Amino acid sequence: MKKLITLLCVSLSVTCIFAQEIPHSIKKSDVFKDEYKRSSIALVEDDGNDGVFIARSYAGGLFSSGAGYYFEHYDANLKLIKEYEYEMRRSEVEKWGTILGIVMNGNQVSLIDFLYNSKEKAFVCSALTSSIDNFNFEKKELFRIASDDVMKSQWFGSSQFDGDSGANFMLNEDKTAFAITVDIKNKNAETHRIYLFDNKLNKKIDHEFKREIKDRKFVYENIDVSKDGNNLYLLGKVYADEKKNKKEGGKYQYELTRISNEGQATQVFDTDEHFSGSLKTVVFQDKLTCVGFYSDRKDYRYKGISYFELDPISLAIRKSKYNPFTEQFMVDKYGKNKDKELKNLSFRGILITEQNEIVFNAEEYYVTTHYHMNPNGGGGTYTYVYHYDDIVSAKIANDGNILWARNINKRQATGGDSSYISYTSTVKGNDTYFFINTGEKVKKLSNDRIQFGQTSTKRSNLNVIRITPDGNFDFQEILDDKDNEVPFMVSDGAISKNSVYFIGRKGKKKQLLKVTL
């Protein structure tokens, strides 16, 4: 009897760990239909009256050509107040156009357009701006670059493609400034043209970044805009000649460059005996940091999280730390068998808590190839499966030390649309949240672990996972697919204040979901 009571207590304890009531509220819009099947949220902005302004991009498929944006204004109960459709119409000489991003300034919304003008043989970047009250878009050219000077991306059907070809867009933390980088063709040096604008479309910086090294030996990691909108930080992974003969660590160095109106300054930092496969800059408040995964052996097998803190002006290195994954993390991941290391980690985003702690998120992502023989002979076909497995999350304190690291076991894969799998993450206060779909009951693993499984458009239950400040986590199913007309695209969530917005879709039928924490 005592053993039975003990067993029941343990079972109840495990149930409490994994089935806590997580405070939240849910609101849904009416189900509606668009002309176009494919649509995703591109912008969410509060209207100041508990309502929300949403911009959704759309694109036609095989049987319905066209591309553009739906602009929608909803009240506090997600009742549609006003809507407007803006179809992207281009002249015969305007080719390969794409919207790099969307910028808001009060009630003014701007689509940042980048296209090739075949008549003028130039790439032109323009802002298409309108008031959200009357929707009358006007075009303003921001800059242009001669076609022969631009390193074409694969999207333009060019064999010159490299990883950072074409144009990249970055908006700062406060959404007051944005940067655009364009890869410039140069056989002897990595070259980028970099522009900085405020959200009123005033140009603040026009700078040519050049590193005297062949393009293939410079890996562009990312660019960030400072909180005040006056500085740019460009991070590169450089395979310099002097690093070829390193006996330990990666045979490369990281270079972080600050770009301002006064010019540029660069800080070189090596990861010594460790391999930091990739780093990401994090600019917030008065701090400049770089975080990423590291390994002691091979770039694709990770052992922990690296952290560098630099002075945002001088770029002097204040701190550097290598945080091995915690014991708890390894138990999450492997149970009792902990003699393993991670691989296939793909960076998924960085969040900042109210205490200015960094939450670093990633996912185990990889692609498998399958060959299918033709039963009638004459060769076969290849299919590709895209795997979105375990979620990795770690919180880093202000001093660079790791507070906690958790692994959320997940097995999801798709041969096509990944919108319904993977996840969206956010923070509220000092809690970290993940939204994921699962079509199965949560699977119990050994050592009090759980695993979220496959989902589909036919069966898709929405769950929220919470990691508390002490690193404990729980979860709750917040929507059962039986209660929904459409499944929600959980990887495309958009965050505004304490709410996360999702679009649900089944064919042309759609619905907007708001989850407030």
Q: Is the pLDDT score of 295 beyond 60?
A: yes
At 284 the pLDDT is: 79
Report the number of distinct structural domains present in the chain.
1
Other Cβ atoms closer than 10 A to 141: 10
At 164 the pLDDT is: 60
Q: Is the pLDDT score of 205 beyond 80?
A: yes
3-state secondary structure 194-229: EEEEECCCCEEEEEEEEECCCHHHEEEEEEEECCCC
pLDDT digit string, tens, across residues 297-316: 555 578 889 999 999 999 99
Pull the structure tokens for residue 109.
Answer: 């919304």
CA distance 125 to 369: 38
The predicted model gives 74-89 an average pLDDT of: 93
Q: Under DSSP, is residue 22 helix (H, G, I), strand (E, B) or coil?
A: coil
At 341 the pLDDT is: 63
Q: Is the pLDDT score of 223 beyond 80?
A: yes
The region of weakest confidence among 1-15, 147-161, 165-179, 407-421 is 1-15
**pLDDT grade, residue 63 (50/70/90)?**
low
**pLDDT grade, residue 161 (50/70/90)?**
very low
pLDDT digit string, tens, across residues 490-504: 999 999 989 999 999
CA distance 29 to 501: 11
Across the chain, mean pLDDT equals 85
Q: Is the pLDDT score of 400 beyond 70?
A: yes
Q: Is the pLDDT score of 18 beyond 80?
A: no
* Listed ranges 36-45, 65-74, 392-401; the one with the highest mean pLDDT: 392-401
Asked whether residue 125 is assigned to any structural domain, the reply reads yes
The predicted model gives 366-388 an average pLDDT of: 86
At 17 the pLDDT is: 45
CA distance 95 to 155: 11
Sheet with 253-260, side-by-side order of all strands: 218-225, 232-238, 253-260, 263-269
Asked whether residue 20 is assigned to any structural domain, the reply reads no
Under DSSP, the state recorded for 185 is P
CA distance 348 to 435: 13
The predicted model gives 389-394 an average pLDDT of: 93
Asked whether residue 193 is assigned to any structural domain, the reply reads yes
Q: What's the domain range around 183?
A: 90-277
At 156 the pLDDT is: 47
Asked whether residue 106 is assigned to any structural domain, the reply reads yes
Q: Which residues contact 219 (CB under 8 A, 6 or more apart)?
A: 163, 164, 236, 237, 238, 239
At 251 the pLDDT is: 73
Asked whether residue 240 is assigned to any structural domain, the reply reads yes
The region of weakest confidence among 275-279, 389-393, 433-437 is 275-279
Q: Which residues contact 153 (CB under 8 A, 6 or more apart)?
A: 161, 165, 166, 183
Nearest Cα to 359, choosing from 409, 393, 309? 393
Q: Is the pLDDT score of 443 beyond 80?
A: no
The predicted model gives 345-366 an average pLDDT of: 91
Which has the higher per-residue pLDDT, 372 or 248? 372
**pLDDT grade, residue 61 (50/70/90)?**
low
Asked whether residue 398 is assigned to any structural domain, the reply reads no
Asked whether residue 213 is assigned to any structural domain, the reply reads yes
How much is the CA Rg of the chain, to the nearest whole Å?
A: 24
The region of weakest confidence among 229-243, 295-309, 322-336 is 295-309
Q: Is the pLDDT score of 107 beyond 80?
A: yes
510 beta partners:
32, 505
Contact between residue 44 and residue 52 where contact means Cβ atoms under 8 Å apart: yes
**pLDDT grade, residue 333 (50/70/90)?**
confident
pLDDT over 90 percentage in the chain: 49
Q: Is the pLDDT score of 357 beyond 60?
A: yes
Which has the higher per-residue pLDDT, 512 or 332? 512
pLDDT over 70 percentage in the chain: 86
Q: Is the pLDDT score of 318 beyond 70?
A: yes
Asked whether residue 343 is assigned to any structural domain, the reply reads no
Nearest Cα to 26, choosing from 509, 508, 504, 505? 504
Q: Give the CB-side neighbour count of residue 206, counting CA atoms within 13 A.
A: 6
